[in-house]
Structure 1
Amino acid sequence: MSVALGRDSLGLGPEWTRRWTVTWRTAGDEVSCTVRDLAHTPLADGTPMRWFSWRRAQRHRPSLQFLVSTGRHHGAESLEEARLLLVLDFAGGLVDVLSQPLRLRFDTATDRRGHIPDFLAVTRTGIWLIDVRPRALIAPKDLEAFAATAEVALACGWHYTVVAGWRDHVAAAIDVFSSQRRPLSDPLGLRPVLVAAAREGGTFGELVDATPFPPLARAQLLHLLWHRRLGTDLNRPFGNRSTVIDPAGWA
C-alpha cells in the first residue's frame, strides 16, 4: 500500500540523514548510528529490539515461525506477521530475516518520534524493511511512521513495503503447500512421475490420481509446489481442479 500521505509531515530538511538515528541490538548491547551510516551496518546479525511475550487477555498472538529457508525459528507478534514469514519462506530467495530489527528516531513537523519496523528481510535480490498492519487498523500516525521508514530504506538503497492484507485464497493455498515444506523422502519415485505428468498438462487432482499411490502422491505434489519445482496459478483458489505446470517446460 502507498504511504505517501504520511510523508508531508516528516522533517526531511537538509542533512536529515545526519539527524535521524537508528538503534539496533547486538550481543546484548544497543548500538546507534545515523541513517547516513546505516547502509554499511550488518543489521541481520542483530537480535530483536523487543522480546516476544505472552500473557492472558492480550489482543495479539505472538509466536515462533520455523522457516525452511533459514533453518531457524523467527518471532512474530501476531498471526498477520506469522503469515508474512510463511510467505517469505515460500517466495524463494530468502537468505535471512530479523524480527523487530531496529528502532528509528525521526523528526516530524511538530516533534521527534520513534518506530520499530516489523521485519528486515535479506534476499538474493536485495534488502527489505517490512511493516505488517491490517488496513483497517492503520491510523494517520502509522502512515507517518511508515513513510519515515520508507525514506530510510530509500536512503540505504533498500526496499520497503507495508503488508496490509492478503487475498484469502492465496493465504489458504500457501498454508496448504507449507504442510509439506520440510525435507521429504521419495522411496517410491513419485516425483519424476508427477513432474513428467505436469509437462503434459493436468490438474492437481488428475496428476495425483494418475499415480499408483494417490495419497502419497498428494504429499509429494504439495512438496514440489512449495519448493517451486512445479507451479500453479495463485490468482485463483487452489484445489483439485487447479492446473499444475512445470515452469521449466514453459521457459
Structure 2
Amino acid sequence: MSSDGVGCVWSHSCELDDLVAPYVLPCGDAIDPRPDWAGHWAVTWRVDGTEVVCPVRDLALFPWERARPVRWFSWRSGQRHRPGLAFMEATGRGHGFESLAERRALTVLDFCGQVREVLSQPFSLRFFDSGRRREHVPDFLVATAGPTLLIDVRPAHLVKESDVAVFAATGRVAASAGWRYLVVTGWRDGVAGSVEALACARRPGTNRLGLEEQLLAAAVGPRRFGELVEATRWPVLARSHLLRLLWERRLAFDLIGPLGDGTCIYPVAS
C-alpha cells in the first residue's frame, strides 16, 4: 500500500501530530523576565491525599506517577460542561475528563499508541504574568514511549485572549521539565469521528469463528469496507472484528473522511 498520498492520513502509521489541528504556541519568555522565574513559579500536586508544592525548577525530578488528580471531577444538575470517565485500553482503566472535547482527546491518544500512563488534572500551576499571580490546571500529563506530554484541550472557538498567556506560561514550564506541551484546539477534518468509530470495538473479544483471519485473507489490495465484511461467512458479526483490526492497525484506511461501507480498506505490510 502506498502511504504517500497527498492529504491522506493512514490509520496504521499516523501519530498524534498527524491528527491534531495545528496551533502556534506563543512564547512565554516575556511573561516573567526574572532569571530565577522557575524558583518563583510553583506547582501543587496531590499525593496520598496531601497537597505537595514544589518549585518549577524541581519539576523534572518529581515522581508524578504517584500523584492523583489535583481536583475532583464533579457532576451536578445544570452544569454546562460534561465530565466523566473515559476508558483507555493503554492503561486498562478509566481517566477523568471535564468535557466531551477532553474525552475525545483521550480516545485519540489511546488510538495513537505509545501511551504508558495518564494523569488527568495533574497539578495546579502558580505563575506570575506582569507581576500578577495566576493559576492554571492543565488537562492531562501523559507518559509515552517518547517524551512526557503535557496537554491542554480547548476548542478553537473557546480560546480567549486571557488563555494565550496561560498557554505560553504552561509551555514554558513544560519545556523547563523536558516535557512536550500541546494545545489541542481541534482535529483534522474527519479524523476524530473515524477514531471514535473504531474505539467502539477496542475492547478485546473472542475470535472463535475465525472472522479476523477471513478478513485479513480477503483484504488483498484495496477493498471497500462493505465488500470486505460480505466476503466472510458471517458479515454481520464481521463488522466489529473489522473495526477491531483497524484499531489494532492490522488493516488500514485513510482517516480523512467518514468511515462507512464505501471506505477503502488496505492490507498492512508485515
TM-score by length of 2: 0.87
Deviation at 1:229, TM superposition (A): 1.7
1:209 maps to 2:209: no
Partner-residue secondary structure (3-state), 2:168: helix
Deviation at 1:97, TM superposition (A): 0.5
2: CA distance between counterparts of 1:112 and 1:168? Answer: 38
Q: 2:256 aligns with which of 208, 226, 235?
A: 235
Q: 1:87 aligns with which of 78, 85, 108?
A: 108
2: CA distance between counterparts of 1:198 and 1:64? Answer: 36
Deviation at 1:39, TM superposition (A): 0.7
Partner-residue secondary structure (3-state), 2:209: coil
The structure that is helix-richer by fraction is 1
Corresponding residue for 1:121? 142
Which one-letter code corresponds to 2:24 in the other structure? Answer: S
8 Å Cα contact 1:44/1:120 also seen in 2: no
Q: Which runs of 5+ in 1 are unaligned?
A: none
Which one-letter code corresponds to 1:200 in the other structure? Answer: G
1:64 maps to 2:96: no
Deviations 1:60-114 (A, max 9, x none): 0111111111111111111111111111111111111011001111121131211
2: CA distance between counterparts of 1:225 and 1:62? Answer: 28
2: CA distance between counterparts of 1:169 and 1:235? Answer: 5
Corresponding residue for 1:3? 25
1:139 maps to 2:132: no
Deviations 1:25-50 (A, max 9, x none): 01000111111111111213211111
Partner-residue secondary structure (3-state), 1:117: coil
Partner-residue secondary structure (3-state), 1:125: coil
8 Å Cα contact 1:184/1:223 also seen in 2: no
Which one-letter code corresponds to 1:206 in the other structure? Answer: E
Deviations 1:139-186 (A, max 9, x none): 121111111110111111111111112345222211211111101111
Indicate how the Cα distance of structure 1 residues 8 and 154 shifts in structure 2: closer, same or farther if over 3 A, else same.
closer
8 Å Cα contact 2:46/2:69 also seen in 1: yes
Q: Which has the higher contact order (CA 8 A, sep 6+)?
A: 2
Partner-residue secondary structure (3-state), 2:149: strand
TM-score by length of 1: 0.94
Over aligned residues, Cα RMSD in angstroms?
A: 1.5
Indicate how the Cα distance of structure 1 residues 49 and 87 shifts in structure 2: closer, same or farther if over 3 A, else same.
same
Point out the more displaced range, 73-82 or 106-115.
106-115
8 Å Cα contact 2:28/2:171 also seen in 1: no
8 Å Cα contact 1:11/1:107 also seen in 2: yes
Point out the more displaced range, 7-16 or 227-236.
7-16
2: CA distance between counterparts of 1:216 and 1:12? Answer: 61
